[in-house]
Structure 1
Amino acid sequence: MSSTILVITERCWPYGGGAELATHIILDILRKRFNIIVFTGAQKCRELEGVEYIYEPLLSNPSRPVLWFNVLRLIQTQRFRRILYQSDFVYVPRFAYPVVPYAKKIGKRVVIHLHDYAPMSNAISVLAPYEQHKHRVVLDDIFMLCKTRVSYCVGATILWWLPKLARKWISQADKVICVSRRQAEIIADQAPELRDKIEVVYNPLLPEIINAEPRKELDDTPTFLYVGGDSYIKGFHILLKAVKELGKQGIRLRIFLAG
């Protein structure tokens, strides 16, 4: 009899971003060997055959303080408890961390998948180079969030303690997945108690990308694809500086922007 994995996530593909896409592909791989039940705050998902999706409105609010309060409410519901008791593993690919201590209390193995820096940053991001910013993460959080929106600026000042709470819950998981060696190094440096639990698992590619034949022929004009959108954190300002510098040198190129 196959083991059951309970997944708790706010969003699911095609809604969200890279984390949701990675989760979708991972579940596509796991469903061949496991029974999978997904509790999600998204009303519509690109459903995978054989995977059970349960819409849960309590998971629909993306604000972490509200989400965490709602997860605590969700834990008290009879339906969720019944499914949790019947499951063998709990997989948390986003921010539903309050479920961890309860799942551990009843003997479930828990895996947290970190696509960001939630255990150390309120903005869930760390500016590069890390070595120059490691002692000013809170100040950087305020800077990044204030550049996004004034209300976020106020929240960053008041809710500076959110990463500490996230770290407390995450530290109770059996395994913590990081998406790169660099991310793993940074998180282990800031949260040494997670070091022995961290495993690096690179985000998988879509099968259609793996199987696709290259279609672009090389020509005299280099072509670049930038998928970070206009986000400061993703380095859009660096892209603009690079384009300006290349223009001064008379270098022609094509850049496609996405994200």
Structure 2
Amino acid sequence: MRLKVLVVSELWWPEGGGGVLATYFITKLLSEHADVTVVTGSRRVEPIRGVRFVFEPLLSVRAKPLLWVNLLRLAGRSYFIKLVRDADVVYIPRLAYPLIPIVKGFGRSCCSCS
């Protein structure tokens, strides 16, 4: 059985800078060994074969305080709760780290780079 990874990032390559590009390459490597789903606020994404992308408008805001309020709204959405429950690991590479205690509350492993 393959590992299931959920990536939650408000930006996705080609938006953003070096950190977003690094997340793209890490996800590309992960996708060779795991089933990966990315939830992002970017409409235009550089796809990765075998990776499922979910556009989430709540993540598309750029102001950090509003993003954090939106993260709490996202955490209550049934589709997002299902994604978290189905994942073995949740990777939060940028500013969505307020989701960490929520993800851990579901008993899931969580890693973050900010």
User: When you count strand as a share of all residues, which structure comes out higher?
Assistant: 2
Q: Where does the alignment leave 5 or more consecutive residues of structure 1 unmatched?
A: 115-259
Q: How many residues align?
A: 114
Residue 176 of structure 1 is matched in structure 2 by none
Percent sequence identity is: 38
How far apart in 1 are the matches of 2:24 and 2:97? 19
Question: Letter of the aligned partner of 1:94 in structure 2?
Answer: R
Higher RCO by CA contacts (8 Å cutoff, separation 6 or greater): 2
User: 5 Å matches for 1:54-69?
Assistant: 54-69=54-69
Residue 38 of structure 1 is matched in structure 2 by 38
Counterpart contact for 2:84–2:106, Cα < 8 Å: no
TM-score, with length taken from structure 1: 0.44
Residue 154 of structure 1 is matched in structure 2 by none
Deviation, 1:105, is: 0.9
How far apart in 1 are the matches of 2:9 and 2:78? 19
SS at match of 2:38: strand
Q: Does 1:87 align with 2:107?
A: no
Bigger radius of gyration among the two: 1
Question: Letter of the aligned partner of 2:73 in structure 1?
Answer: R
Give RMSD over aligned pairs: 0.7
How far apart in 2 are the matches of 1:24 and 1:106? 26
Q: Deviations over 1:166-187 (max 9, x none)?
A: xxxxxxxxxxxxxxxxxxxxxx
Residue 26 of structure 1 is matched in structure 2 by 26
Q: Where does the alignment leave 5 or more consecutive residues of structure 2 unmatched?
A: none
How far apart in 1 are the matches of 2:59 and 2:99? 12
Instruction: List structure 1 runs of 4+ shifted beyond 2 angstroms.
Output: none
